[in-house]
Amino acid sequence: MQKQKIFIFLFTVLPLCVHAQQHAEQIDTNTAIFTLSQCIQYAAGHQPALKQSQIDEKITRTNNNIGLSGWLPQAGFNGTLQHYYDLPTSFFTNQSNPTGPKLPIHTGLFNTFNPQLNITQNIFNSDVLYAANAVHLYTEQAKENSDATKISLVSNVSKAFYDVLLTQQQVYVLQDDTARLNKNKDFTYNEYVSGVVDKVDYKQATISLNNTLAQLKTTEESLNPKYAILKQLMGFPEEKNFTVNFDTTLMLQEVTFDTTELLNYNKRIEYQQLETAKRLQAALTNYYRYSMLPSVGAFYNYTWQYQNDRYSDLYQQSYPYSYIGLNFTFPIFQGFKRLENIHKAKLQQSRQDWDMTNLKLGIYTEYKQALANYKSSMYNLYTMEENKKLAREVYNIVQLQYREGIKNYLNVITAESDLHTAEINYLNALFQLLISKIDLKRAMGDISVNIN
């Protein structure tokens, strides 16, 4: 009866698998017992995939800053140091004979150094305009990717947690079965020694006990890999250990789920991601349209000019000059490249519309399957609970009848087997209901991402 209460309590705290506290307390890795809420909180701070998605968000913001930097003034400094072995030749009119041939004359100085400060400012440019229009979309896309990782984390950690918890409860059931079968073996042995029954009953009781002991050992050993899976999903150090337990400080919550709630596609993270991708594609289409416009920019150059025939005197005198202006680039013909890019972008937008249609169909199918599984799992749990009660009543009656000599031991074996099967079936039904409700919440987009 005590274990039944434990199972019912487990069943009522199911919503914890999808709702963790927004402000997580510090988790002590030396704590012997973790609740589901603590497992999710620890995973939020240590799970590699989630940490990677959070770093990706920061990378996206950095990339946005890089793209927007094109709107700011760009300053640069360059210079040219040059020495002539032979000065260049220019031709000038012979003043003594203006109609005669021009005279070749070496011009310039042997050493020149021209450092120059360059400042440019974009006025209109399709690249930086696209960066400005898409920056918030890339930020939103990175956040949605991180949210998708969080949803998977909550769902997977919850399932692994309940898998471990189910196995532990199976161990408790098998331990009770072992204790009960051990008493039966002792009873049949005493009855055999007293000559009340033959040796067959004692051997059958021993066989049943050995089978249950073997099953108990197998179940206990299966806990180790299941804990390993939970540790992996949490990012928990493999050299440390913990056990799972219920969070008894939280209020009990109803196990029922409102199956009449309508499916809202907008709550699904996959739908949100595709909507963002469509807006990014629309921005890309506009980028190709704007690329047909000229690029305009302003510039300012200041040059310090040093010239001297003697290198040692090169920097004694400068002859600076500066200028300001506008530049523009207008591509006239690029082999229809710009038009084809626009056409391609529009086709990609059309394909995304079909992606959205396909996604809705998939979400609806997933929702219907999850809803059907939840309803059938709920019915199955009630049925298995009733079977467990009946099996225990039958076992108690048959056990009493056997001790009074009314039934043979074969009836006890059958009743014991039915009781064991009913208890395990109940646990499996409970676990399946827990999983089906997580899947239903995920299908409806109800899993919270506020786990930090």
Q: How far apart are CA 395 and CA 204, in angstroms?
A: 16
What's the pLDDT band for 148 if we cut at 50, 70, 90?
very high
Q: How far apart are CA 125 and CA 213, in angstroms?
A: 77
65-114: pLDDT as tens digits: 999 998 999 999 999 999 998 889 888 888 888 888 888 888 888 999 99
271-326: pLDDT as tens digits: 999 999 999 999 999 999 888 889 999 999 999 999 998 888 889 989 999 999 99
Q: How far apart are CA 170 and CA 427, in angstroms?
A: 7
Please list the residues that pair with 329 across neighbouring strands.
295
Q: What is the pLDDT averaged over residues 367-374?
A: 94
Query: In this structure, what token pair is assigned to residue 7?
Result: 């199972």
Compute the residue count for the chain: 452
Backbone angles phi, psi at 22, to 5 degrees: -70, -40
